Amino acid sequence: MEEEAEGQGEKKKSALVPTIAGVAIATLVAAGGGWVVGGMIAPKNPEAEKAAAEAKAKAAAPAPAADAHGGKKEEGLPHIATAAAGVVQLEPITTNLAYPSENWVRLEVALAFKGPPELALAEEIHQDILAYMRTVSLQQIEGARGFQYLRDDIQERVDLRSQGKVSKVMFRTFVIE
């Protein structure tokens, strides 16, 4: 019986070596295949690399520009939300929720106008969204479906307030604490 037990132990050891070798070979084949597919998807293009380097250099050293008040603007990438593009970024909305009142929400929204942006209308919409957010409970906005309902409700309120002048409400940030 002892001889049979020793024979089984040797078979287990001998089966372990081919298994390790097979896993190692499969890993090398997978790594090589990933390298080949990666080269096919994103081939080296010297012109594209040169254009990317130029764009990075331009973005890294922008000239400081003055804003409407004569002060300097923040350096960095230009904002998409500009009056020339018909997009107005509202000031961040920070308020507590209706229930539980110890939870806070911070919301940054941008409005896409159909025509030229009206800043007075944008401020009215900002105040309307602020008032609405104070009536919302945490349970209403939980999960993906709750967030979608919130977006739909805010879009509906903006449509009513703007009488069709605002085409889209864009959520930039949404944080609940």
Average pLDDT per block of 10 residues along the chain, 177 residues long? 55 78 92 83 64 63 47 50 76 92 93 90 94 94 93 94 92 92
The answer to whether 124 and 130 have CB atoms below 8 angstroms apart is no
* Model pLDDT, residue 126: 95
* Model pLDDT, residue 70: 44
* Model pLDDT, residue 40: 75
Ranges of H-type helices in the chain: 2-41, 46-60, 119-133, 143-162
Tokens at residue 49, please? 């690399």
CATH of 87-176, one of 3.40.50.2300, 3.30.479.30, 3.30.450.40, 1.20.120.140: 3.30.479.30
The answer to whether 83 and 115 have CB atoms below 8 angstroms apart is no
- Dist CA 68 CA 29 (whole Å): 60
Domain ranges of the chain: 2-56, 87-176
* Model pLDDT, residue 71: 44
* Model pLDDT, residue 170: 93
* Model pLDDT, residue 14: 76
